[in-house]
Structure 1
């Protein structure tokens, strides 16, 4: 276990990468080919790629804030200025609300997929409760246990998803991607916004800056690598979806990635139904996403209220998550719910690290100016 001299747990570089990767990959992978091609059409994969680069730039700002202010979090802002402290409190409250809404939406989407594809006779409420209870059990432990669970499950996510993404090109016809660079810029931008929900999860690193040593190059590199893998997987899946079905047909599929996996065969017929293996991997991905969102909400509330344990918060938050998860009456309302949550997350993730970074630069320039004025 990595610890500082004060006993604060410090994540290893592999744990930083694992937390970002496994938190980012979640339910969004099932709907991504449809949501990005709805506006960007055959250029949907470009929207996913640009969205990944944008998310990586925001993550890099979070890393730089952590490098400059190693004990800062979204609850206690980095720069020691009055404006930064004023911004920190409402920003923390909005981020907590965002993580709660995201966790609830993820659990509900998980339930809709399982009820549709696997357990058709099982009540939706039972499936949603099962995932929330699994996340609740994870939240009952400390942050060290949480990140070690991410580290343990990472190979289960990384290898199968990458293999499935590559095998999905079996029925691909790349003519459906043409014209390659002829697209509507407005549609491309809307596609980037649509892809933002699939990339959400990396922002949790901003809450645990006191547990991540971003002053070490290995940790900074691990954070970026943690987002590169989801971006590669998403781009491959969207390209395979467009090339296999065409962007028009993707609009008629509720879970296009699952349909894509159903058309894929494993060489040698090792697995006759690849979607069963895919869903098994996807359950682990959803568990890590729900667990991280649940844990971050409780951890941030603990910091905000300045109490010692987050476990009592988790007990009170569990029924709230279930209520929010069951709030949409049907799957179409659920998609609208997730759309607005994704927009909120995109705005938060773009603005918060930029504001903190700018305030830090202003504080640094002011300090240098004051030192210069004090010199004879």
Structure 2
């Protein structure tokens, strides 16, 4: 049991930041540099702006329907059957996103740390961790994100700050890049790394002050997007565009080249991987939790907990479908770009129709004293 309106603005911001900082941190500079060369920071900024449009849209919808998630208010805006199709697409997409994140985690672990461990073991362990964590209520969900946030942000900022001493400004010039043919796909790929923020559609109905949801989304995107941008700038400045293109996980290599003052630690990659595992968990936790909550709302179930184990086998099978790591990243890039239609296009259509039809719901204060699942 939980009280619907227990989440504060700070907790909502923490959910967004810890969801954004996830598995995509490792290949992020590679995606950006492949698309723009020395214009990788520009590609990242444009990707963040596109992602911000999506977050702004779902935040406006959430503030317009403060008592409902997107599964519920979409029916009110476009009708039951059209909304059902849209919601099924959202659920399928986030199932894919969850499974691919688990697979990427497994690939990194068996490549860098546990080289003799079967891939299936690392994938199923992370999925099980998300499965049992997702059986909690919305308040606990927010508390978990709030607890792990400092463990994600401060070490990442430290590594970026220390690595900048090895950067060369010439590697960042020209800022617009030399080849613009791959910029648009790269921008869309970067924007796709922020799609986990869609979990905000189920967070807003649980906020104490839904009218402050826009402020939380602003700070969430500013901090999360700012960290992504700083990682791209640091990796590009240290390695240069051509060397970065040869690195599978440039952010991990960046941590290897970074040392603490006084040579307390000559390499930070081990510490960084520990932080990264936490970041993967929070992102996977958000997408897993959103998936089962969306299914429970779609089928009008009173409890989402039984679904956590029910979808586990399907997610595991999906995670094992890519043939190898190259194939996996090809699928991730394609899914990320295609998913923008669902995470940005669909909510934008809903918002335009809601405004045109003057659909909105006022905040029901009586719900603050009611209990739900």
TM-score if structure 1 supplies the norm length? 0.91
Deviations 1:239-265 (A, max 9, x none): 111111121211211111101111111
For residue 240 of structure 1, the aligned residue among 225, 234, 242 is: 234
For residue 18 of structure 2, the aligned residue among 17, 22, 44 is: 22
The CA distance in 2 between the partners of 1:171 and 1:226, in whole Å, is: 29
Give the alignment of 1:153-232 within 5 angstroms: 153-212=148-207, 215-217=210-212, 219-232=213-226
SS at match of 2:358: helix
Q: Does 1:43 align with 2:34?
A: no
The CA distance in 1 between the partners of 2:115 and 2:220, in whole Å, is: 35
Deviation, 1:78, is: 5.1
Contact map agreement 2:36 2:177 (CA 8 A) in 1: no
Deviation, 1:79, is: 7.7
Deviations 1:294-340 (A, max 9, x none): 11111111011111111221111111111111111110111111112
Task: Tell me which residue corresponds to 2:282.
Answer: 288
Deviation, 1:212, is: 2.9
The CA distance in 2 between the partners of 1:229 and 1:179, in whole Å, is: 26
Deviating more after overlay: 203-212 vs 154-163 = 203-212
Q: Does 1:106 align with 2:106?
A: no
Contact map agreement 1:84 1:356 (CA 8 A) in 2: no
Aligned positions, number: 360
Provide the alpha-carbon RMSD of the alignment.
2.0
SS at match of 2:357: helix
The CA distance in 2 between the partners of 1:224 and 1:78, in whole Å, is: 24
The CA distance in 1 between the partners of 2:35 and 2:334, in whole Å, is: 16
Deviating more after overlay: 351-360 vs 69-78 = 69-78
Contact map agreement 2:35 2:43 (CA 8 A) in 1: no
Deviation, 1:288, is: 0.6
Structure 1: segments with no counterpart, 5+ residues: 366-376
Q: Does 1:358 align with 2:352?
A: yes
The CA distance in 2 between the partners of 1:173 and 1:320, in whole Å, is: 46
Contact map agreement 1:77 1:85 (CA 8 A) in 2: no
Task: Tell me which residue corresponds to 1:279.
Answer: 273
SS at match of 1:309: coil
Deviating more after overlay: 48-57 vs 184-193 = 184-193
The CA distance in 1 between the partners of 2:153 and 2:113, in whole Å, is: 23
Contact map agreement 1:25 1:230 (CA 8 A) in 2: yes
Contact map agreement 2:7 2:207 (CA 8 A) in 1: yes
Quick check: which has more Rg, 1 or 2? 1
Deviation, 1:72, is: 2.8
The CA distance in 1 between the partners of 2:193 and 2:163, in whole Å, is: 19
Task: Tell me which residue corresponds to 1:312.
Answer: 306
CA separation of 1:77 and 1:185: change in aligned 2, threshold 3 A? farther
Q: Does 1:332 align with 2:326?
A: yes
For residue 62 of structure 1, the aligned residue among 50, 58, 70 is: 58
TM-score if structure 2 supplies the norm length? 0.91
CA separation of 1:310 and 1:231: change in aligned 2, threshold 3 A? same
Contact map agreement 1:25 1:289 (CA 8 A) in 2: yes
Task: Tell me which residue corresponds to 1:265.
Answer: 259
Task: Tell me which residue corresponds to 2:369.
Answer: none
Deviation, 1:105, is: 0.6
